Copies of this chain bind each other. A is one copy, B any other.
Amino acid sequence: MRDWIYPHFDYQPKRPLFLCVLSNTDTGKIPGVSAAGASPDLTDYTPSADAELIELHKIVTIPAIPESPEGATTPAVVTKAALSLSEIPALFVTSGLRRKPAIPYVDINGSPGRDIRSATAVPDAAEIMERSALLGKKLANFSDCIFIGESIAGGTTTAMAVMQALGYPGKVSSSLLNHPMAKKQEIVDVALDRCAASFGSMRSDPLGALREVGDPMIPAALGLIKGLAGTKVVLSGGTQMAAVLCAADALGIDGDVSIATTRYIVEDRNATFVETVEGLGRSWYMADPGLERSKIPALSCYASGSAKEGVGAGGAVLAASLRGITQQEIVEGSDRVLMTVELPKG
């Protein structure tokens, strides 16, 4: 049996920092593609609600905790438990986000991503990456190990589009139990057609691919990696972050960058997380939050493949484990967070 953290993470961070990029993409509002929000219109608010949950243990901007149409609660609950137990500070970064959270956040600005089927998705991708690199360079002064998660509803579809435009094989995962893969591929096909692209045709113009069929999270994460050159970076996420690694590869952005995700992503047979990451020559880490032991269905359903990952949950659990937090503490902590989170009255 594998350890709950696998393989061993061979570094003890002195001043770890958990970053999380919050973005919107209208691609996420296409009915049926995203589970990050009970309805497509609510997905604009999901990232801010995730951030408020983690920073305030309270949700301010929407009346309910984000959950998927299948009833899985947001993985921010697990991230919150991990960061609180380990006392690792979080910093939220907004890039193309419509509804700003009621906490202090670093604003990279940028417009929300458009529907990749009908428009150039992120016209300001280069500017986002540039500003984000500035932030990364700054943060390198203060932390020796930075975990970077994301909250963007619909992000696996844009991740898939970017991977295909850049010519990386591999399948993305889904936060839904019944992965709407055909629907996603249809969206990607229309998007690539729109900009006269096809599998691999934008390999030599990665920025063009991000601009045409990406989302505002991807250039923000890439800029952070670029600015953090010399600092240990652990991308915290599943196939979306794997797509960020693909884009970094295409752009020639290097550095000490690995990726950490949950067991639910590693074991997703419909996706190719491990193959994609290993194909790039990068290290991956898996954290098993042990949610099959949760007393709450909205969390225990993760173990059967709902939600799976997001808001950097896998990386946050890995980071917490490096400070001695146990799997059982993560399970109990997640239950406690979900049972005690404060919601707006009314």
Please tell me if A104 contacts chain B, counting CB pairs below 8 Å.
yes
Chain B, residue nearest A132 (CB): B104
Q: How far is the CA of A132 from the CA of B90 in the complex (A)?
A: 15
Q: Which residues of B contact A42 (CB under 8 A)?
A: none
State A164–B61 Cα separation when bound (angstroms). Answer: 37
A107 within 8 A of B: yes
With the chains together, A131 CA to B106 CA distance in Å?
13
Q: Are B107 and A100 in contact (CB under 8 A)?
A: yes
Tell me the minimal C-beta distance from A267 to chain B in angstroms.
34
Contact with B along A94-120 (1 / 0, CB 8 A): 100000101111111100000000000
The A contact surface, by secondary structure, is mixed
In the complex, A197 has a CB within 8 A of chain B? no
Using CB atoms, name the residue of chain B closest to A108.
Answer: B104
Q: A202 at the A/B interface (Cβ < 8 Å)? A: no
Q: Known contacts A141-B89, A142-B143; decide if A131 and B109 are in contact (CB<8 Å).
A: no
Across the interface, A15 reaches (CB within 8 A) one of B108, B132, B142, namely B142
**Docked pose: A104 CA to B132 CA in angstroms:** 7
Contact of A103 among B100, B104, B131 (CB under 8 A): B131
Residues of chain B lying within 8 A (CB to CB) of residue A17: 141-142
Q: How far is the CB of A135 from chain B (nearest CB, A)?
A: 4
List residues of chain B with CB within 8 A of the CB of A143: 142
Q: What residues of chain B lie closer than 8 Å to A134, measured between beta carbons?
A: 55-56, 103-104
Q: Hey, what's the 0/1 contact readout for A217-228 against B, CB within 8 Å counting as 1?
A: 000000000000
Chain B residues closer than 8 Å to A108, beta-carbon distance:
104
CB pair B109–A106 under 8 Å, yes or no, is: no
Smallest distance from the beta carbon of A294 to chain B beta carbons, Å?
Answer: 28
Distance of A143 Cα from B138 Cα, bound (Å): 12
Q: Mark A283-305, 1 if CB is under 8 A from B, else 0.
A: 00000000000000000000000
A126-154 near B? 1/0 per residue, CB < 8 Å: 00000110110010011100000000000
Residue A343 lies at the interface, judged by CB distance under 8 Å to chain B: no
